[in-house]
Structure 1
Amino acid sequence: MAAGLVISAPASSVGKTTLTLALARAWCNSGLRVQCFKSGPDYIDPAFHAAATGRASVNVDSWAMNRGTISHLVSRGTDADVVLAEGSMGLFDGVAARGVCGTGATADIAEMLDWPVLLVIDPSGQAQTAAAIAAGLRDYRPGVRLAGVVLNRVASPRHEALVRRALLDAGIAVFGALPRHAEISLPKRHLGLVQAEEQAEIGKLIDEAARFVAEHVDLDAVLRSAATWSPQPAASGVNVTPPGQRIALARDAAFSFVYPHMLEAWRAAGAEISTFSPLADEGPDPGADVCWLPGGYPELQAGKIAANARFRSGLRAFAETRPVHGECGGYMVLGTALTDADGIRHEMTGLLGLETSFAKRRMHLGYRLAELAAPMPGHQAGARLRGHEFHYSTILAQPDTPLAVVQDATGVIIAETGSRRGQATGTFFHLIAEDR
């Protein structure tokens, strides 16, 4: 039997990831087996979870996944002592329209699994008001239980005392209070945290976070607050079909945004995955059936990608006879050109007519439901795909045949339709699951 707990907060950038990593590493150091999950469409945090625990982490998403899929993914915690689900944004933040089994809010996962919520509260610029916020979150939705609070970035002992007293008066347990500590801050960039694989010192940072949190938080009390949990047998697995039997997957600092559950589902269905690095001027495995370019940060590496002739020629040769698909950043690289933040235009692979600009920045963010007008690797025309889009690039030209009719979570048709030309397809959304 495992102990299940959800880590959430009133908003983003409060310290959920840091606390999750610190708790996970501290309990691992004490001999416990810890399994992490990420609620919502975040392809960066699971790699940090894996670095902290030594166990692969996956996303669970109530808007894009059905209950059977979520149960299947969570069942990997069967042999763990502690299971932590890190939330995204604020506890109840989701979309306006319900998806497969929820709005994508962390609260959906907490209620579905019947796990209590450990709130991270940053009381900067306030004192007793922090208790009012915590009490409001506790009482907002009857099916969501609050375990207690960890305070983050308290300014002084007096500040901590004021907030603690108000929380205790409201009947809310306080498990600890963390002073400001720059040494455990995770570096960020425009799409979130700098990826774990790009940080050579990530192990030391997590160790320091674990030491610091163990010094200021009652870890035993937090563990006692978790729910005793035993996973139920899953009725279904992940609704994803592999794009081919042998998949050439671009994988490096510019192409790394892949949901772990996708790769696991491909392998579980018998697919073989070989990786290659466009940044190292490598082309796809010529023995593969399909090439997949995930998202990442090509806008930060556009000059290098444009200069890597072997990668570009290898991809073009591959696409003459076999399918190539790109997601978000991968879609941009399949296009004609990419203009970087300095306004410099770089030639891309030219498999599609798409032209994008990172100099003209505009945030595109949200869930996507796409009905394919034409086939793409792994999916036939008419398939309904659920995914998520998050980027700052602007489309300058998208002249090819639209790949899909794409809606946001409220049903509004959007302009980012994806494209198809010959063997090449691309979308701005990252695929999470297929409606079946």
Structure 2
Amino acid sequence: MVQYKSKMVERIHLPERAEREHALEAAGYNVFNLDAEDVFIDLLTDSGTGTMSEAQWAALIRGDESYAGSKSFARLESSVDDVMGFPHVIPAHQGRGAENVLYGTLLEAGDVALNNTHFDTTRAHVANQGADPVDCPIPDAADPSADGDFKGNFSIERGWEIVEEVGADRIPVVIQTITNNSTAGQPVSVENTRRVAAFADEINATFVIDACRFAENAYFVTEREDTYADATVAAVAREQLGYADALVMSGKKDGLVNVGGFVATDDERIADRCRQRAILYEGFPTYGGMAGRDMEALAVGLREAVEVEYVRDRIEQIRTLASLLEDRGVPVYTPTGGHAVYLDAEACFPHLPPSAFPGQVLVCELYREGAVRGVELGSFAFPGTDRPELVRLAVPRRTYHREHFEHVADTAAAVLERAEEVSGLEIQTEPEVPELRHFTAELEPVSS
């Protein structure tokens, strides 16, 4: 049952097909370059695109915009401590700002960072420090049809293989992303987190949890991990996060806000070093690139995110979209994870090799067919990695309804009906940083 009613609406517009064709060509077949007004259903990301609650809007009014010692920061700090269990909080303008602060503090040239699966900005920040980002997914993670309750888990076995190859002294950081965004939003078990913490401790590495979707992950734990069947989402979240030495957080996900993020830790030494770097890149440690009003909204959002009524409705929305797609024969990654439905582009276009970027082709065809914007997370977004050809349809929080999802499913089904007619794409221009090429690169259809 939906837990919300609308108090504000926005009119949206479905452009004519000719307009969509023109917009796609002008964007260089990269939907990041589209104007939002040319998009009907926007599933590019769930980061900062959701709808805030009335309690969050009310909290904005009491924002304390003091440069130092803001009361709004004190309320954010209290929420992070209560919900996540970490007393030291260094705010940032968003998650990638927090990544810059933390990984710029912990990593240097020649280091290796292990992660269940690095996402794009995480991989780029690690590489920017001159370090090597290495993924440690479990074997089933690459199979869109494999069964498994926790396909987002970190492979301890793979971690030890890397230790044997490079030596523990080159691995100062071990990261676990929950849920695992690059592996179709798949959850991570508490047991796996506990084992990763022990692994990091054994090699004397700092254990970091990327906590962007920590509440969604905790909900899956209550469903799938027998030990926690009777636990609350809030209790699971606090325990799971508690195994880490530090957190990096984008408040634009499970903080339920449109901007903001932070580093949190219980290690005073790490906190002090992060504060100094934050001053240089983000701002004074009691605002860190955020307005007081935004810290107020984030303080409320963190508490709302672990309420079972909220997170249950959130996950059921994702499952509804997945079910509508599957009913129409659209191949999706299973089981459905959190925050998004991932389409299997290789299964949609078996005639296209990875070099033709089948995922990016699917993204473009979804826009061409129905002005639906998703994002490719395969060979285009992650060059040089061996990842499945996936397209993520990320659902903004508390924003769309079933009718919107039916349009998305109908659009995808229409694309599949003419799949054999679709040709590949090739890159025309791309930035110097390969980890970030999917944001700005331009493509064109492969010449026949």
TM normalised by structure 1 equals: 0.30
- Compare the two structures and name the one with the higher helix fraction: 2
- Compare the two structures and name the one with the higher strand fraction: 1
Q: Which structure is larger by alpha-carbon Rg, 1 or 2?
A: 1
TM normalised by structure 2 equals: 0.30
Higher relative contact order (CA 8 A, sep 6+): 2
